[in-house]
Amino acid sequence: MAFTLPALPYDKNALAPHMSAETLEFHHGKHHNAYVVNLNKLLEGKPEAAKSLEDVIKSSEGPVFNNAAQIWNHTFFWSCLKPNGGGAPTGDLAQAITRDFGSFEKFAEQFTTAATTQFGSGWAWLVLDGGKLSVTKTSNADLPMKHNQKALLTLDVWEHAYYIDHRNLRPRFIETFLKNLVNWDFALANLKQS
């Protein structure tokens, strides 16, 4: 069974002006789709083609891992964004962030630092690690499930995630994500599944 490109959970114009339809056309339609096409080519005729995406990720290395993990990372990332998102979380997630970081502001500072200091391509994550919330970052296609962590939220800091809208200003993209795009409902749903 071939892997397919998941649809975006919103219209391509829904995140404007914070993320343009053009960015989504390239990032989802070209970059994300390329990982799907590449993985299907790599697994064609192999037993791994019948596995779930998560099982492929957990049992692979090299090009198969890179493409499978990038499909998962991007699919997860799209759900971390929503129209009229951003700001501080409320309820159970807000309480967990205050418990483990001291305040939302301290979380936002750690998350911003992780996203800003990720050298080259990669991801900033809010994860559940051993029952405690933590901020981490990964390079390239690496992701929390390879480190026995539960992903709650991510920000893609590969240049293709922000270059059309923000050029080389990654810090402005991070700020825009936290103020206007982050989907705290999705992060809370992930926390409740753990």
Question: Do residues 135 and 111 touch, judged by C-beta distance below 8 A?
Answer: yes
Domain extent listing, the chain: 21-79, 91-192
Cut 0.95: pTM above it = yes
> SS3 of 33, please?
helix
Per-residue pLDDT reduced to its tens digit, 57-95 = 999 999 999 999 999 999 999 999 999 999 999 999 999
Per-residue pLDDT, averaged over 153-161, amounts to: 97
- pLDDT tens digits, residue range 86-97? 999 999 999 999
Fold classified for 91-192: minor pseudopilin epsh fold (3.55.40)
Q: What is the pLDDT of residue 179?
A: 98
Query: How many CB atoms are located within 10 Å of the residue 60 CB?
Result: 19
* Distances, alpha carbon 50 to alpha carbons 36, 42, 54, 76, 82, in Å: 14, 13, 12, 21, 32
Cα dihedral 176, 180, 181, 183 sign:
positive
Residue 134, beta-bridge partner list: 127
pLDDT tens digit sequence for 95-143: 999 999 999 999 999 999 999 999 999 999 999 999 999 999 999 999 9
- pLDDT of 29 reads 97
pLDDT band at 194 (very low <50, low <70, confident <90, very high): confident
Q: Which two tokens stand for residue 111?
A: 């998350």
* DSSP-assigned beta bridge partners for residue 133: 128
- CATH annotation of 21-79: 1.10.287.990
Stated length of the chain: 194
DSSP three-state, residue 48: helix
